[in-house]
A and B are shown apart, each in its own frame.
Chain A
Amino acid sequence: MNIVLQDEFVSLDLLLFGLLWPLLLSFMLALKPIRSLTLQLAPWAALPALAASLLVAPSEMRWHLTGVMLGSELGLDATGKLFLLLTALLWTVTGIYARTYFSLPLQRTRFYIFFLLTMAGNFGLILAHDLLSFYLGFALMSFAAYGLVIFNGTPAALRAGRVYIILVVLGELMIFAALVLAAKTSQATTFTAVCANLFSTDNPDLVILLGLIGFGIKAGILGMHVWLPLAHPVAPAPASAVLSGTMIKAGLLGWLRLLPLGEVTLPGWGTSMLILGLMATFYAAGVGLTQREPKTLLAYSSISQMGIMTMAIGLGLLAPHAWPGILPVVTFYVLHHGLSKSALFLGVGLGGSHHLLQRRWIWLGMCLPALALAGAPWTSGMLAKMLLKTHILHAQTPWDTLLPPLLSASAVSTALLMARLLYLIRPAARLSGATPVAGLVWPWLVNLTAILLLPWWLMPTTSSQESMYIMDSLWPLLLACLVTIAVLHTKLLRAVQPLPAGDVLLLIERGYRRLCRMGNNWAGIQRILNELQQHFKTHQATLVTATITRLKQIENGFVRWEVASLLMIILAVVVGLIASQSFSL
């Protein structure tokens, strides 16, 4: 961290280069004559941004790009630097991984075009310090990622893509409304100005609500999370890695930028986010435990982990004075989760080997991120949870007493989830994914090394003693181990049926069907319900067709010029009459 650039112009150039290079490459991929050359460069597209994230000194300084949109502001603060470091690292690792993962050049070209566009959007939103640039980066990332989600083109992928794009559009529109509302009073479009003036707007609560849901869709907030478990299993492994590793964090960054964190106490919003986060943590872990597809399980694990980060933000809204301490913890948590989750997704993609020994090695490698997520001693997970716990004390009662045990319980649930994952991908399990060749393994190993080293290097300083937490982090793990061993000795695992991915979406449908079936059992109600249903169906059908025909008729009416001219003559006569009236007045 000692070698940093002090020259602001060189810094800006480096940042801009890191941002524009993937964009340029994706454009170059479209040009056939230089495509093979570009394909050589594409895997390394995130390197300039990685260099920038390492070399540029974080500061509160902003660069104004006059002329871009409505006056763009770029900058790299401490939060942004950590986000950029994680993001650039993961995009580099997955970029290299994808080079070998896709063997056909045509397939690779298609993948990289969307991959690079998504990457550029992701970098852009991290550097953006004004509403419009952030929104631009967010939109670019969200829309381009559609190409990654449906890349395989299977019916499941198309369905996931549909759910994804609908939620993206809804999210975009909510964010648009939130940003316009927020920009109204501030008269400026920088986040600093907007945050400061948020409470002079007519309805700050509406802005917060729209922001929470709009960004929450990306962050997989409970209720808006349905796209995650659908999209992750169908997307190619490198795409899932960045999707879960960095892209869902963009929603979180949106909250960090937009919400007036550390400035005002918002008990209502704080408590809601806290509860929502906690619910997501346990609910997603519960649903995830039933899964048999490793990538679906990992998607649920991401929702669960994002729940913890949502909770931390809720904490910040409850206790603004503690926010300067909580913010580095949240970003550290983002780093920890991003690195581990990406390694898990990339590792799951390596399960295609026929050699038992190879499978064992990979399984062992997978243990590292799994343990890190579960918060095992001396891992990034332990550090993250330890840091989080030191700040819980700032919360008001009853949260200061409730949260520590709840956090430990979440650690247990995460550990169980990871145990379930390790069981699912055990060396003896069936083959899935690609054959682990060198081109896939070494980027994965880089990712694993990053999990081991980076967190220790980038950990925010804290006064508390680590030794205390080693025991604290050990017991959830041991408990989870015991439970796992116990479960493995029963037949429980076979009995558990996986909840369908996209749980709530399907539960609603299922509940409706069950309600209908229940009605069928009672003879009396059956008849009435049937009739009602029938009536509703026919009525609905006729209503719909009638509306459509009516619309068509009206439309045809407009089109027929006779009607049009008649209408206008009538209009002219009426107007003339009224006019003559008013003249005589």
Chain B
Amino acid sequence: MNWDPLIPVLTVASSLVPGLIIFGLAEERVRLRTALNLIGALIKLALVGWMLWGVYHEHHYETRLALLPDLELVLRVGPLSLLFVTLSGVLWMVTTIYAIGYLENSPHRSRFFGFFSLCVTATVGVALAGNLITFLLFYELLTLVTYPLVVHRGTEEARRAGRTYLIYTIFGGSLLLLGTVWLYSLTGTLEFTPQGFLSDLDAEHRPTLIIIFSLLIAGLGVKAALVPLHGWLPQVMVAPAPVSALLHAVAVVKVGAFGIVRVVYDVFGIDFAIELGVTAPLAWLAATTIIYGSMRALFQDELKRRLAYSTVSQISYIILGVAIAGPIATIGGLVHLVHQGLMKVTLFFCAGNLAETLGIHKVSEMKGVGRRMPWTMAAFTIGALGMIGVPPIAGFISKWYLGLGALQADQDWVIIILVGSSLLNAAYFLPILHAAWFQKPPHSWPEDRDFGHKETAWTLLLPPLLTAAMALVAGLLATLPFSPLEWAKLITEREFYCP
């Protein structure tokens, strides 16, 4: 029997099934819940490993289910989808461990972990989607299942943030839907194809296509937090730390950016997009977002809010890489999809550790925290330096490829954006590092929880150390086989710029 069509389904199911079972579990069945979560995550990782090997050797996995007449639910495993699936699989595992420690003895854990698994299911679905309609389905599902996570705490602030989030994303989703339907009415197909499926259309449709492109980008841009559609993201940081971590690193924000990659490369096709003249405005939009996000991050005292604005800025690196429209910049953008995820998840884990262990929520409270929590702050330092683009951390490799790619595509202005953004990143991260490592700690911390001779619980400490190490290794050993960079090169060669 041929197992290949089953594998994408199994990948989605490996988080869906545990999620659904967990909903039915009683609150106190901690062990069973943990076991389900971890088994699901391990199965997913095993499947990811299997697929990585297969796809590397030009094997393809595809599942088609009839959804409507003419429209199918397609799950397809290609290099690009696998990049994103791998990222979400790995980070799901790590974040689950973190969430178990973070939510210890807090109420509504079954609800939380249930939606958490669904959130990953939706993300994986988005990654594997083989056509725009499947993409849209999972994209909307993601919106719905993250809402309960955002409002998990149930405070007035959380509810308000949840409301903002829902309004923004639902409107974004409807724009996306409008664009998709319109596109379908023009072409009769929505299948993601290398080099796009629109270039054969008559020239008279061009203005329409430009509008559709804007609709799709605006819809996706809400999740990708493109300025001026980013307003929801800093509010949503009221969510618990593991949610923020997942939200900023893989789930919501990344899905928006991933969608933009799909639209530019597999719907329009990069050559056709350049011909339409839509890549240049997109590049400018991304550049504006990069600088604006960093400028806003400078003035935030609340740590998570500062990190949120930093995400606004960093996600647009990916979009910039895509919009520069050259093979090398594309590699830079794609690899940043992974690199930003690793670094940002580390930073949010650390922010959560500070809040949980010492009650620190503000940058101004972080004086001398390096002496109290050296390992957490070491991980934070790696993440922060990586964001600035200091070698050998992963962020530097992204920056290098973006810069080189921009020059190769004769868009020298991008260098100024990159340098400016690095400067701003340094301006808002280095003072934190200085305060944490070199200033005198206060006499007492806001809420000091005692962990004996350890700085914090190991379930809270291990995940950031792990992801920080990954961010370091992804940069230091960037050209080893199966590194994010090598995979991004493979994607670019096979899918986007194939001869």
Chain A interface (Cβ within 8 Å of chain B)? 30, 66-71, 132, 135-136, 139, 143, 147, 150, 153, 161, 165, 169-170, 172-173, 176-177, 180-181, 183-184, 551, 555, 558-561, 564-565, 568-569, 571-572, 575, 578-579, 582-583, 585
Contacts and interface: CB of A to CB of B under 8 A. Distances in A.
B105 interface: no
**Residue of A69, A70, A147, A165 ringed by the most chain B CB atoms within 10 A:** A69
Contact of B385 (A143, A161, A569, A575): A143
Given A181-B407, A572-B175, A582-B211, 14 more contacts: A30-B378, A68-B477, A70-B397, A135-B391, A136-B392, A147-B438, A165-B434, A173-B419, A173-B423, A177-B415, A559-B231, A561-B167, A568-B171, A568-B172
A67 B178 contact: no
Nearest to B391: A136
Contacts of B385: 143
A555 B407 CA distance: 33
Nearest to B299: A548
Contact of B204 (A555, A561, A585): A585
Given A184-B407, A575-B211, A561 B164 contact: yes
Nearest to B172: A568
A571 B218 contact: yes
Contacts of B479: 66-71
22 contacts: A30-B378, A67-B477, A67-B479, A67-B483, A70-B479, A136-B391, A153-B438, A161-B434, A169-B430, A170-B423, A173-B419, A183-B404, A184-B408, A555-B231, A561-B168, A564-B231, A564-B232, A565-B167, A571-B175, A578-B211, A579-B182, A582-B207
Which bracket fits the contact residues of B? Answer: 35 or more
Contact of B175 (A183, A184, A555, A568): A568
B141 interface: no
Contacts of A560: 231
A147 B389 CA distance: 20
B374 interface: yes
Nearest to A206: B412
Interface in B229-255: 229-232, 234-235
Contacts of A136: 391-392
B293 to A, nearest CB: 12
Contact of A30 (B230, B374, B477): B374
A180 B399 CA distance: 10
Interface in B370-405: 374, 378, 385, 388-392, 397, 399-400, 403-404
A338 B12 CA distance: 62
A318 to B, nearest CB: 30
Contacts of B174: 572
B111 to A, nearest CB: 24
A558 B390 contact: no
B478 A69 contact: yes
B208 A169 contact: no
Interface in B191-212: 204, 207-208, 211
B408 A564 contact: no
Interface of B is mostly: helix
B288 interface: no
Given A568-B171, A579-B211, A169 B423 contact: yes
Nearest to A137: B391
Contacts of A71: 479
Given A181-B407, A578-B211, A583-B208, A564 B390 contact: no
**Residue of A136, A176, A582 ringed by the most chain B CB atoms within 10 A:** A176
Contacts of A66: 479
B36 to A, nearest CB: 36
Nearest to A153: B438
B215 interface: yes
A560 B378 CA distance: 37
Interface in B457-499: 475-480, 483
A318 B215 CA distance: 59
Nearest to B437: A147
A562 to B, nearest CB: 9
Interface in B346-376: 374
Contacts of B403: 176-177, 180
Given A180-B400, A180-B415, A568-B175, A69 B475 contact: yes
Given A568-B171, A582-B208, A558 B400 contact: no
B422 interface: yes
Given A561-B164, A572-B178, A582-B207, A173 B475 contact: no
A537 B415 CA distance: 35
Nearest to B475: A69
B230 A558 contact: yes
Interface string B155-174: 00000000110011001101
B407 to A, nearest CB: 4
B228 A143 contact: no
B39 to A, nearest CB: 33
Contact of A139 (B390, B415, B478, B480): B390
Contacts of B437: 147
A205 B207 CA distance: 43
A70 B480 CA distance: 9
A180 B390 contact: no
B235 A575 contact: no
**The 4 nearest A-B residue pairs measured at CB:** A558-B231, A67-B480, A180-B403, A136-B391
A68 B296 CA distance: 35
B26 to A, nearest CB: 36
A183 B132 CA distance: 38
Nearest to A169: B426
Interface in B55-111: none
B171 A139 contact: no
Contacts of B167: 561, 564-565
A555 B300 CA distance: 13
B235 A559 contact: yes
A569 B164 CA distance: 15
A191 B56 CA distance: 33
A565 B475 CA distance: 41
A135 B475 CA distance: 13
A558 B163 contact: no
Given A568-B171, A572-B175, A172 B204 contact: no
B34 interface: no
Nearest to B410: A202
A387 B426 CA distance: 43
B189 interface: no
A507 B163 CA distance: 56
Contacts of B234: 559
Contacts of B391: 69, 132, 135-136, 139
B212 to A, nearest CB: 8
Contacts of A561: 163-164, 167-168
A180 B230 contact: no
B464 to A, nearest CB: 15
B29 to A, nearest CB: 38
